[in-house]
Structure 1
Amino acid sequence: MGEIRKLVSENEFTKFVDIVANAYPGILANAPQEKQKFKEFLINKQQEDAGVEFYGLFREQQLIAGMRIHYYEMNLYSKRIDIGGVGLVAVDLLHKKERAAKELIEQFLQTFKAKGVHLVALYPFRPDFYKNMGFGYGSSIHQYLLEPASFPKGKTKEHLIYVNEEDSEQLAACYNRFAESKHGLIYKTVHEWKALFKNSENRIIAFKKEDKIYGYMVFTFRKQSETNFMLNNLVIKECIYETPVSLMALCTFLNSQVDQVSRIEWNTQDEHVRFLVNDARNGSTELIPSVYHPSATTGIGLMYRIINVKGFITYLRHIQYFTPDLKWKLTVTDSFFPENQGEYLLQVKQGFLEIMEEKDYEVEVKIDISELSSLLMGVVSLKELYIYSKVEISHPTFLNVLNTLFNTLDKPMCLTAF
């Protein structure tokens, strides 16, 4: 065991950057100028952004590992809640397999639980590693490679404009309205908006009508050849739309790029893109048996973790469930964070979920915190978990009723990288 505390001195950040350069050589070159620039970025980030802090694990007064934590707000089923995030978890090469990452994550969970936060999230370097720590899978991402002509062509693009930092307030207002309608979306911070405009590679267009932005798209270009400068893909980094009209205008813009770009690269959690475009194939000539055409490449990434089961359940009290009244017992195992496991007596009464004091119940559900996190976030159904033997139900005759209870939950969407 060691001491975990916030990084404060320049020397501590210098050591942390060295650790990061060795842990993630693909994102940070082991060159003095690059590391100096990255160190200055981290120090400025912590000083200027109240939503970001860097912590280090010290043993015998030596920094051997570190992490970056985030303080976010998220839409949870139309309720705005606090959520913790962690990233840039890095361990010195000489101290691998010494449970340093475990200590960091334990501290991360304790930090946010102490602040009254009931949910945290991360992007895993290895999903299985963090699943063993109780994190559950979030929604998958789908990477499409679409021909511009496959996007629908609307009647006009007259309301599309380029936007810059002067339009940031209207852009943020559009995003916030969109976030209020999408379970799982994390609200952008002021520093995220600044970073969006600071990146010179970003191009931003918006649908603006009557002095109000109803949708926007952030995109870049990716060259496809070292010898032919005319071969490029358009990469959608963010696509926000409040109305069918604003979406159609953005699609019309993409359709009109047919003479300039080869493919539109779009990473999205939308499972229904094939209903939007005319051709969702990715250009491959292969077939998946029997006759299925390759479309999107699917990936797993963002993972959620409930760190206070009772507290999280109180977040769900405003949701109306269209199920009969039911008294049930929820038994949760959490081997990584034992203080979080336990038995909870719940009931659905007149369509609303609540914690009850009575000891009698009709059915018991046993589940691990990893699967519970995915279930209560709306990622997976109870019936699927039951079929996969990831949940135990004392009386399987209640399966359909319980499944209906959780089927009222929407799948989460997240556009925030951290």
Structure 2
Amino acid sequence: MHEVRQIREEEYRDNVILHEQAYTANPASSEEEIEKLVKQEKEFLAQAEGVVPYGVFKDDKLIGSMKLFDFEMNVFGSFLPTGGLSSVGVDLLHKKERVAKTLVDFYLDYFDQRGYALAALYAFRPDFYYQMGFGYGLKKDVYTIAPHAFPNFKHKADLDFLTKEDDQALVDCYNAFAEQQHGLMKKSLFQYKRAFEKFNIKVVGVKKKGKLTGYAIFSFKERQDTNNFLSSNIIVHEFVYTDKDALQQLSTFFHSQKDQVHRISFPTQDETIHHFFTDARDGSDELINFVYHQTNRAGLGLMYRVINVKRFFDQLSKHNFNNANYTITFQVTDTMYPKNAGDVTVRFTNGKPAVIQGAKADTTIKIDVSDLSSLVLGVVDFEKLHLYDKVTVSNEAHVNTINEIFYTRHKPISMTDF
């Protein structure tokens, strides 16, 4: 029988060894390295807020583990509690024994029992977690552009390097940005600890009247394509601005690096950022048929899951779904977490949702919880799910009406790694 419980401090070493064997890309090679990792684990769990390690035990032996995170995520302007999952690992001797399923089952029930409606994770395989009911989030683009592609607004007088003394101002700036952006999760001081401890990581910010209005966290990286120690690349790790002026000053800063920087790697979920750059091409000079110039790499990352459909709409009772006056019965399929499956009837009145079980629906929609999760967060349009045969609709004539209910101009972005 499997037992799931919180991992005790004296079991951290067992957990580190389990993960070193489960994630074999860069394993520890000595006892000294293991002890260093155990120390880092203790420090992380002592300082991190809302992070708890849980394990699966068989005959008192740790055979699988995970970390659970308490987040607050901006969902259409309201911060909703969101349960995060990471570091899922299974002992090599106990693979294919449904240990990972035991962990995920516990994770979903853990946050459901605490009144959460949403869960999120970074999937080691998106298709695997899609089958477990997690919906795809917004893709992330990485542009590799020349510094001169950042527009020069000829103004960066308020720009300065930030130090450890600025850490709270940095957190406040990010959280102010998070209040403006659907999908962002609140952050704490601990999440910026590394930025001020590593000398190779630089933090520059825009300070106006004692207040931080924007910042960029970045590092330099040696070029591998040429033997030129006078030239390097820049990797941008985080780029935040709360107003237009901060964006312009940060842009001018990166533009000014063109004398010694070859390319800047810039991650973003802004689907229109190519309109901002003066040249969005990645330098490869590749063409995509017919004449489309290659600009960026893209990938799937954060995935979302509604773990309690009724509660989700209750928690968003003040959100306006585009002034809709319409009633939908969702016939939700959830094979991973059956207690979340079944019929949920939502009446939208002047856009405000209310769960009214038994009410007469204008349309009944059969949908898997994975696609429902992406739909209700605004990641994907309903008409696309219908086109891709991901939903069954009782009233085909109302597809466009339903699409308008869930349409949002701002898709959920993420800047939280876990």
User: Does TM, normalized by the shorter one, top 0.5?
Assistant: yes
After TM superposition, the structure 1 stretch with the greater mean CA deviation from structure 2, 1-10 or 83-92, is 1-10
Q: Which residue of 2 aligns with 1:382?
A: 382
After TM superposition, the structure 1 stretch with the greater mean CA deviation from structure 2, 357-366 or 230-239, is 357-366
Contact 2:216–2:236 (CA under 8 A) maintained in structure 1: yes
Equivalent residue runs for 1:1-16 within 5 Å: 1-10=1-10, 12-16=11-15
Q: Distance in 2 between matches of 1:59 and 1:403?
A: 48
SS at match of 1:265: strand
Q: Distance in 2 between matches of 1:196 and 1:369?
A: 37
Contact 1:377–1:409 (CA under 8 A) maintained in structure 2: no
Does residue 46 (structure 1) correspond to residue 45 (structure 2)? The answer is yes
Per-residue displacement from partner, 1:160-216 (whole Å, max 9, x unpaired)? 011111112222221111100001101112311323322332100011111111110
Q: Distance in 1 between matches of 2:202 and 2:228?
A: 22
Q: Distance in 2 between matches of 1:270 and 1:154?
A: 20
SS at match of 2:157: coil
Q: Which residue of 1 aligns with 2:401?
A: 401
Contact 2:6–2:54 (CA under 8 A) maintained in structure 1: yes
Q: Distance in 1 between matches of 2:117 and 2:322?
A: 25
Q: Which residue of 1 aligns with 2:154?
A: 155
SS at match of 1:16: helix
Q: Which residue of 1 aligns with 2:118?
A: 119
After TM superposition, give the deviation of residue 358 of structure 1 in Å.
4.5
After TM superposition, give the deviation of residue 230 of structure 1 in Å.
2.5
Contact 1:323–1:401 (CA under 8 A) maintained in structure 2: no
SS at match of 1:262: strand
After TM superposition, give the deviation of residue 110 of structure 1 in Å.
1.1
Per-residue displacement from partner, 1:82-125 (whole Å, max 9, x unpaired)? 11111111111111111111111111111111111111111111
Q: Distance in 2 between matches of 1:308 and 1:3?
A: 24
Q: Which residue of 2 aligns with 1:180?
A: 179
Per-residue displacement from partner, 1:319-374 (whole Å, max 9, x unpaired)? 22335421221110100000011111111112322112443122101100000111
Q: Which residue of 2 aligns with 1:85?
A: 84
Aligned AA (2:106) = Q
Contact 2:171–2:189 (CA under 8 A) maintained in structure 1: no
Contact 1:45–1:52 (CA under 8 A) maintained in structure 2: no
Distance 1:309-1:180 versus aligned 2 partners, 3 A rule? same
Contact 1:287–1:294 (CA under 8 A) maintained in structure 2: yes
Q: Distance in 2 between matches of 1:141 and 1:376?
A: 19
User: Structure 1: where are the runs of 5+ without partners?
Assistant: none
Equivalent residue runs for 1:351-366 within 5 Å: 351-366=351-366
Does residue 145 (structure 1) correspond to residue 169 (structure 2)? The answer is no
User: Structure 2: where are the runs of 5+ without partners?
Assistant: none
Contact 2:366–2:393 (CA under 8 A) maintained in structure 1: yes
Q: Percent sequence identity over matched residues? A: 38
After TM superposition, give the deviation of residue 409 of structure 1 in Å.
6.0
Contact 1:28–1:34 (CA under 8 A) maintained in structure 2: no
Contact 2:327–2:346 (CA under 8 A) maintained in structure 1: yes
Q: Distance in 2 between matches of 1:359 and 1:353?
A: 13
Contact 1:52–1:71 (CA under 8 A) maintained in structure 2: yes
Q: Distance in 2 between matches of 1:105 and 1:31?
A: 31
Contact 2:171–2:188 (CA under 8 A) maintained in structure 1: no
Does residue 194 (structure 1) correspond to residue 189 (structure 2)? The answer is no
Q: Distance in 2 between matches of 1:320 and 1:298?
A: 31
Distance 1:132-1:324 versus aligned 2 partners, 3 A rule? closer
Contact 1:323–1:404 (CA under 8 A) maintained in structure 2: no
Q: Which residue of 1 aligns with 2:261?
A: 261
Q: Distance in 2 between matches of 1:407 and 1:239?
A: 27
After TM superposition, give the deviation of residue 240 of structure 1 in Å.
0.4
Q: Which residue of 2 aligns with 1:164?
A: 163
Aligned AA (1:126) = R
RMSD: 1.5
Q: Distance in 1 between matches of 2:60 and 2:409?
A: 47
Contact 2:142–2:296 (CA under 8 A) maintained in structure 1: yes
Aligned AA (1:215) = G
Q: Which residue of 1 aligns with 2:373?
A: 373
